[in-house]
A = this chain, B = another copy of it.
Amino acid sequence: MPLSRTPRCTCIKISDQPVNPRSLEKLEMIPASQSCPRVEIIATMKKNGEKRCLNPESKVIKNILKAISKERSKRSPRTQRKA
């Protein structure tokens, strides 16, 4: 079966619809790898656990990351540690 080594990505179609950061249960980022040549971003929705693939190029992602980090700094205003 020559097709058995075909790279497999998790996402089949990618949504460009805006996603409200508050309605997110979690956001998964999967780096590009041998099994999938592109970065994949999968949002799991709170309401129904629905998973949605988002376009990593889109503003949606930047807004979500910004919203998450804002929320973060509001809730835990710790000083930054050196790694």
Write the residues of chain A forming the contact surface with B, with a CB cutoff of 8 angstroms.
Answer: 16-18, 21-22, 24-33, 37-39, 55-60, 65, 67-69, 71-72, 75-76, 78, 80-83
Contact = CB atoms under 8 A, between A and B. Distances in A.
A65 B68 contact: no
A56 B38 CA distance: 24
Contacts of A81: 16, 55, 57-58
Given A56-B72, A58-B83, 18 more contacts: A21-B31, A22-B31, A24-B31, A25-B33, A27-B30, A28-B28, A29-B29, A29-B65, A31-B67, A31-B68, A31-B71, A32-B75, A38-B72, A38-B75, A39-B71, A39-B75, A57-B72, A59-B82
